[in-house]
Amino acid sequence: MGEEEESVGKFLKWATKLGITDAPLDTLDSEIQTVSSCLGKSLFVSEFPDAGGRGLGATRDLRKHELILRVPKSALMTSESLMLKDQKLSLSIKRYPHLSSTQILSVCLLAEMSKAKGSWWYPYLKQLPRQYETLSTFSHFEIQALQVDDATWAAERAVSKAEMEWNEAIPLMRELELRPQLLTFKSWLWSSATVSSRTLHIPWDSAGCFCPVGDLFNYAAPGMESYSSEEIASWTQTSTLDSSSLEKSASDEELEVEHIDGDSLRLTDAGYEEQVEAYCFYARRRYRKGEQVLLGYGTYTNLELLEHYGFLLNANPNEKVFIQMEQNINFNSWPKDSIYIQHDGKPSFALLSALCLWVTPPKDRKSVGHLAYSGKQLSAENEVSIMKWLRKKCEALLEKLPSSIETDGLLLTSIEKMQNHTSIQEVKKMISACEVEIGNFFESTNSQTFDEVGKFHLSSKARRSIERWKLAVQWRLRTKLHVALPIDPLVGR
Ligand SMILES: C[S@@+](CC[C@H](N)C(=O)[O-])C[C@H]1O[C@@H](n2cnc3c(N)ncnc32)[C@H](O)[C@@H]1O
């Protein structure tokens, strides 16, 4: 058995003792806590290289909406549960009321790490990732590689926010006498990225909770676009399933409703349930045995996924490219974040509505306003003018960026070759194609080495940087492809 596998095995055994289980609801507690792993009845841990790496697969065919995992409240790691077990931590935190709940949870996590094997949570802490690719961890070079202003600003904001929060938390961490290496900005970035990418929503702490085993689910975007507003409205009326509906039979499957997060109107397939005092996870669709079981953490654009979770999706149904409008076009003063091109290349409702009026002669605007605001087609000419405006806007957006779609495609291939230790000749060829950016990478990571047979090698710093550089190039390429060809907004109306 490999070291990794052994560590996961120990972790699952520990989790079993805490009452975490993927067994059906009618399984006796005594039965649950005597098995050697909390998984095996519905789920198993495995590597899924194409979607998130380590994740959870289905051990058998799973029905849609079936309860597949329960994590009792006592197994959730929260600021509250950590403070209950550590009086010094609890007393010190009370002296820093200005810290936010996420800062407090980040400090609590570092304090627990400081205890190493002495921590009650050690088996859980041991299997947490050691590094993250969230935007706050991006260097200046990696931020510049995003190219688009909105994205570079978001990344710069993420870095300075992390720095500010770290500075504010240092006095508390000193008071707690954390080990020196846990006081560094690097450790803070690790801790805050762990909070950002792994916590699940709970009603009693806005920082969320760490949910052992439950945080092994990888992400798939909730496909909200395929549901009608009537369906969504009807789902909101059942904000939490009652405990009697937790046990589900195949025959009542069609009657079941999707699990809803009442606060945000967002479809969720997991949530804390007061009635059973546990975090409960449901299969969002049917899964075949062996398939990876995914969770919808929420609806995010790729930039938001990158910011909070450190990855992005190739096809993201919630993707948006924001368009800056001249003040005089946006008649109804739509909020900036409602003016964008959707994942399918169509303009958002607000963008379309504003453009419908903009291309209408001023004297006719009043009479057709109600049509524009209800999303109706005004005329064929109006439609053609909108598309012309939109294409021009998108072309201008693309031209402004320092590299083309073709170059980015080439660069991505080059980055992959660099990760795979390509020969010196290959690297030279690549450098001539994307010379400046590759040169900047070498400079920023201070590395360009070749072994005795002329194979290319990267330092460990460069290896970490290349992952984030690749994410930045993937993000900008997806964005460029997205705006390259806006689709006629009125097709299908
Ligand atoms: C809650 S954890 C999921 C489990 C995680 N893979 C692990 O090994 O612990 C969330 C993290 O998993 C990764 N992840 C989740 N879904 C992904 C996806 N669809 N594609 C790529 N990475 C994903 C990201 O690194 C993200 O920050």
Counting from 1 in the atom list of ligand 1, the atom nearest the Cα of 198 is 1
Stronger pLDDT, 27 or 289, i.e. the higher one: 289
Ligand 1 atom 21 nearest Cα: 52
Ligand 1 atom 4 nearest Cα: 216
Confirm if 197 and 308 have CB atoms less than 8 A apart. yes
Counting from 1 in the atom list of ligand 1, the atom nearest the Cα of 129 is 9
Mean pLDDT of 22-48: 79
Task: Tell whether the model's pLDDT for residue 298 goes beyond 50.
Answer: yes
Task: Tell whether the model's pLDDT for residue 224 goes beyond 70.
Answer: no
Which pLDDT does position 302 carry in this prediction?
Answer: 96
Average pLDDT, the chain: 83
Ligand 1 in contact with 53 (CB < 6 A)?
yes
Mean pLDDT of 447-474: 78
Mean pLDDT of 204-225: 88
pTM exceeds 0.90 for this model = no
- When pLDDT is cut at 50, 70 and 90, the band that residue 192 belongs to is very high
> Which position has the token pair 């109706």?
376
Ligand 1 in contact with 269 (CB < 6 A)?
no
Ligand 1 in contact with 454 (CB < 6 A)?
no
**What is the 48 CA–ligand 1 centroid distance (Å)?**
10
Which pLDDT does position 6 carry in this prediction?
Answer: 82
Task: Tell whether the model's pLDDT for residue 228 goes beyond 80.
Answer: no
Ligand 1 in contact with 197 (CB < 6 A)?
yes
**What is the 162 CA–ligand 1 centroid distance (Å)?**
21
Which pLDDT does position 30 carry in this prediction?
Answer: 65
Architecture of domain 1-74+216-230+268-309: Alpha-Beta Complex (3.90)
| Helices and strands per DSSP (H, E), number in the chain | 18, 15
242-287 pLDDT tens trace: 222 222 233 333 323 334 433 333 345 899 999 999 999 999 999 9
Task: Tell whether the model's pLDDT for residue 389 goes beyond 90.
Answer: no
Q: Provide the residue type at 145 as one letter.
A: A
Ligand 1 in contact with 311 (CB < 6 A)?
yes
For the stretch 10-18, contacts whose Cβ atoms lie closer than 8 Å and that sit 24 or more positions apart, written own/partner, are 10/123, 11/123, 11/124, 11/126, 11/127, 11/212, 12/36, 12/37, 12/38, 12/39, 12/45, 12/213, 13/37, 14/123, 14/124, 15/75, 15/123, 15/124, 15/212, 15/213, 18/72, 18/74, 18/75, 18/212
Ligand 1 in contact with 215 (CB < 6 A)?
yes
Task: Tell whether the model's pLDDT for residue 328 goes beyond 80.
Answer: no
Ligand 1 in contact with 219 (CB < 6 A)?
yes
120-166 pLDDT tens trace: 999 999 999 999 999 999 999 999 999 999 999 999 999 999 999 99
Mean pLDDT of 34-59: 89
CA atoms of 118 and 135, how far apart (whole Å): 32
**What is the 263 CA–ligand 1 centroid distance (Å)?**
24
Q: At 285, is the secondary structure helix, strand, or coil? A: coil
Ligand 1 in contact with 310 (CB < 6 A)?
yes
Q: Would you state the structure tokens that stand for residue 447, as one six-digit string?
A: 């590395």
Could you tell me the residue ranges of all domains in the chain?
1-74+216-230+268-309, 77-210, 321-400, 405-449+456-484
Q: Point out the least confidently predicted range of 44-53, 181-190, 205-214, 369-378.
A: 369-378
- When pLDDT is cut at 50, 70 and 90, the band that residue 297 belongs to is confident
**What is the 52 CA–ligand 1 centroid distance (Å)?**
4
CA atoms of 252 and 245, how far apart (whole Å): 10
Mean pLDDT of 342-352: 86
Mean pLDDT of 419-446: 73
Nearest to 76 by CA among 218, 278, 268: 278
